[in-house]
Amino acid sequence: MSIGLLLFILTFVAALIGLYGMFKKAGIAPWKALIPLYNTWCMVEKMELKRIWFFLQLIPIVGQFITIWICIKFVEHFGRFGFLHHAATVLVPFIYFPYLGFSDKERYAGIPVVKNYKKGAIREWIDAAAFAIVAATIIRTFVFEAYTIPTPSMEKTLLVNDFLFVSKFSYGPRIPNTPIAMPFVHHTIPGLNTKSYVEWIHIPYTRWFARPVHRKDVVVFNFPVNDTLINDEINFGSRVTYYQEIRRRMLEEHISEAEARQRVWDQYGDEIITRPVDKRENFIKRCVGIAGDSLQIKNRVVYINNVAEPLPEFHEFKYDVTTSAPLDPDELNNMGIQYTDDPNKNQVYQLENNLYEISMTDGEMASLKLLPMVKNIQPAVLGPGDKSPYLFPFAGAGTENWTVDNYGPVWIPKKGATIQLTADNVIRYKRCIAVYEGNKFEEKNGQYFINDKPATSYTFKMNYYWMMGDNRHNSLDSRFWGFVPEDHIVGKASLIWFSYDKGPRWSRIFKKIK
């Protein structure tokens, strides 16, 4: 268990134990304090607040303020109104709640003491907002951050609408590159479609108590090729990257990279934006290769340094399924194979009569084979986008036949390691040298120049990682865009704290991520 996850569990449990004592003093069944969300419902009822306050907690961003305000109000019903008491409620509830709950000096005073205390509503909201901003900034930067699964690229390990805690302590907290930013939002202010940050203060990459990423970790990171993007949420954004659009035009229109880039700018110039590292889109994948590894994929199996790696427990691949009669959606859903109109959840696509393409785990495939109408199941035929030259590094000797299922070998850069600058190496590592590590890189008359000096070799300044989704045929990952630098690492996905799909998925709540 990571240090960050352990600390979070200990502080979370300590706060709940404190609430247990506080509920008992307040005359509420103390076991109700141990159930997240339900405990705030009980507080709202006990304090005779309007129930709308409970439901406002569910609103993104705003809800965090409401929860803090409810906790502050509950503490006030113990007769504690001062600034330091409010600060302790927000910043150290794992210490302060047990004190209120179990100290003989503290008692629940109830509604009358609150009515007799005169404090303006505006001050209450200012206090709550100030504490929320400070607490959220400290917690999100140094301890953990909440993250919601938006796509099925990690199915069935992680499901769409799983709500996670991401541990910042696991790899060491990273200091934001853009410290002046609007709290609680990532890169864009909702409703305004403007940047949530300013760039005139920029802090170079700094990580405290740095620890390396390990193979098989499920990692949240900033999407490396999201430094430049076409800001069209439907067709582009992080779905089709700026660089993918350039390559598509090069291949389909048979033009040079410079000409393709110019055409993209001519068409989308007003919509093209750039982002610093910490404001690039958050992605979540599994680390399958670490710095210094040589990675290759053979017939869907990942080999690290020529040793086969076991597949993730709940991995998915695409298969072509031939049947003698149409498949029943209800029957498939009962097997765990989602046949739905929601493109973020659907696993089944009907290609033609009695021919389907289905993404499924080994267990789901075994169940499907038992259906009498299923005649044949075989690996799906790959589309053109799942083959070279649409795969990283997009060119170079020996890459002509690479596919998502048969890929590599590729060496993952390691801090302090030196490579010779050859044509093939430049194709693979030029972005690492020039973009991620901030060097001026040029080629003139067959010779390479780094920061205006002739160079025949290069020594890497950072470690890099190779990330892949567990849903191996439905994941935009390192096979398509390359390496993840260490300065893009956000944290380790540690715990599912809530999960929702037409209602809570109770079996997934408080489930450790493997």
What is the model's pLDDT at position 501?
A: 84
Residues of the chain with CATH 2.10.109.10: 144-287+469-512
Structure tokens at 93: 């509830």
What are the tens digits of pLDDT across the range 436-451?
999 999 999 889 999 9
Q: Which of 293, 243, 249, 276 is nearest to 431 (CA)?
A: 243
Q: What pLDDT is stored for residue 77 in this prediction?
A: 93
Q: 337-369, pLDDT tens digit by residue?
A: 888 887 778 889 988 889 999 999 999 999 999
Give the lowest-confidence range in 204-218, 287-301, 341-355, 360-374.
Answer: 341-355
The pLDDT tens digits of the residues spanning 245-282 come to 999 999 999 999 999 999 999 999 888 989 999 999 99
Q: Select from 154, 159, 200 the least CA-distant residue to 178.
A: 200
Query: Any residues with CB less than 8 A from the CB of 215 and at least 6 apart, and which?
Result: 287, 288, 289, 290, 293, 304, 309
Q: Which helix (H) or strand (E) holds 442?
A: strand 441-444
**Helix, strand, coil fractions of the chain, as percent rounded to 5:** 35, 25, 40
Average pLDDT of the chain, as a whole number: 88
- Judged against a pLDDT cut of 90, whether residue 514 lies above it is answered with no
499 a catalytic residue: no
pLDDT of 124 above 70: no
Q: At 503, is the pLDDT very low, low, confident or very high (cuts 50, 70, 90)?
A: confident
Q: Which member of 25, 73, 156, 285 is catalytic? A: 285
Closest CA to 181 of 162, 165, 203: 203
| Residue 3, pLDDT score | 55
pLDDT reported for residue 127: 64
Q: Give the Å distances, CA to CA, from 2 to 35, 221, 338, 495, 512.
A: 24, 17, 33, 11, 11
Evaluate whether the domain defined by 144-287+469-512 bears CATH number 3.30.365.10. no
The active-site residue, picked from 73, 153, 168, 388, is: 153
pLDDT tens column, 67-107: 888 998 899 999 998 878 888 888 788 999 999 999 999 99
Express each pLDDT in 470-492 by its tens digit.
999 999 999 999 999 999 999 99
The verdict on whether 24 is a catalytic residue reads no
Cβ-count burial of 435 within 10 angstroms (0-12 exposed, 13-18 middle, 19+ buried)? Answer: middle
- CA distances (Å), origin 425, targets 38, 80, 216: 57, 65, 27
| The pair of three-digit structure tokens given for residue 460, joined into one six-digit string | 């890497």
> How far is the C-alpha of 413 from the C-alpha of 425, rounded, in Å?
11
In this structure, of 15-19, 37-41, 113-117, the range with the lowest mean pLDDT score is 113-117
31 exposure class (CB count in 10 Å sphere: 0-12, 13-18, 19+): exposed
Instruction: Say which amino acid occupies 392.
Output: F
Residue 246 is predicted with a pLDDT of 93
Contact 296, 473 (CB under 8 A): no
Q: What tokens appear for 303 in the block?
A: 């080999």
For residues 26 and 37, what is the distance between their CA atoms, to the nearest angstrom?
18
Q: Please, what is the angle between helix 83-91 and helix 62-76, to 10°?
A: 130
